[in-house]
Amino acid sequence: MRATTPPANPRRPFLVRGLAITAVVAVLLLAACTGQVNAPAVGAASKVYPVSDRKTAPDTSGDLIGGGHYELASHRGEVVVINFWASWCAPCRVEAADLEQAYTDTKADRVSFLGINVQDQKDAAIAFARGRVTYPSLFDPPGRLALAFAVPPNTLPATLIIDRAGRIAVVLRSSVRAQELTPLVRQVAAESTGPSG
């Protein structure tokens, strides 16, 4: 008895191709939800600028989510770590404890931290920060402050280290860990301040 071959399905190649495209789109959407679609590979997400290549951070000021006002200019002479975050950002939740640890470990070196909350609701931002971090955060729903920087972060979360002369020294475009961030902050804090550029 001769085996019979089922008739070929002329739509099969298109179905397979459609499923493959759907899978790729799903992966990209999932990556976008975690804020990592534009992020380089781990280890390549950080950029440390030599002093000669650093740009002066823009004037940054605004209302704090817990009340009060903040002016970056009033912190000249300190190293300032700026973290861009949102309450809906899963990697931001992951890194919050590490940011607080780095803040605690370095504030004696004349280092201050500032969060900048973007694309968020104020109540959600306040609830997120409460019990997670003790340093202040600016409320910037449209993300204008991020766009004003000479080296703007293009993902959430993102962290910048501003040197004592008010220049952008380090950009981290991924979730940070204390063991990575603290040495970078201390490295910038140990520099002598040159003329701002």
**150-175 confidence digits (pLDDT tens):** 655 567 899 999 999 999 999 998 89
* Sequence-distant (≥ 6) Cβ neighbours of residue 86 within 8 angstroms: 92, 117, 118, 119, 120, 125, 156
pTM for the model stands at 0.75
DSSP label at residue 13? H
Counting residues of the chain whose pLDDT is more than 70, the rounded percentage is: 72
Which is more confident, 24 or 130? 130
pLDDT tens track for 8-60: 555 544 433 443 333 333 333 233 333 333 332 334 567 999 999 999 999 99
The whole-angstrom separation of Cα 22 and Cα 28 is: 10
116 has a pLDDT exceeding 70? yes
Q: Model confidence at 134, in pLDDT bands (50, 70, 90)?
A: very high
Tell me: pLDDT of 97 over 70: yes
pLDDT at 112 exceeding the cut of 50: yes
Predicted confidence at residue 22, as pLDDT, reads 33
26 bridge partner residues: none
**In this predicted structure, what is the pLDDT of residue 7?**
54
pLDDT at 10: 52
SS3 68: coil
Which of 56, 177, 50, 182 is CA-nearest to residue 108? Answer: 182
**Spatial distance between the Cα atoms of 142 and 160, rounded to a whole number of angstroms:** 19
The helix-helix angle for 178-189 and 90-106 (nearest 10°) equals: 40
What is the per-residue pLDDT for 165?
96
Lowest mean pLDDT among 1-15, 77-91, 133-147, 170-184: 1-15
Quick one: CA torsion of 102, 124, 89, 184, rounded to 10 degrees?
Answer: -20
Q: Which CATH architecture has domain 46-189?
A: 3-Layer(aba) Sandwich (3.40)
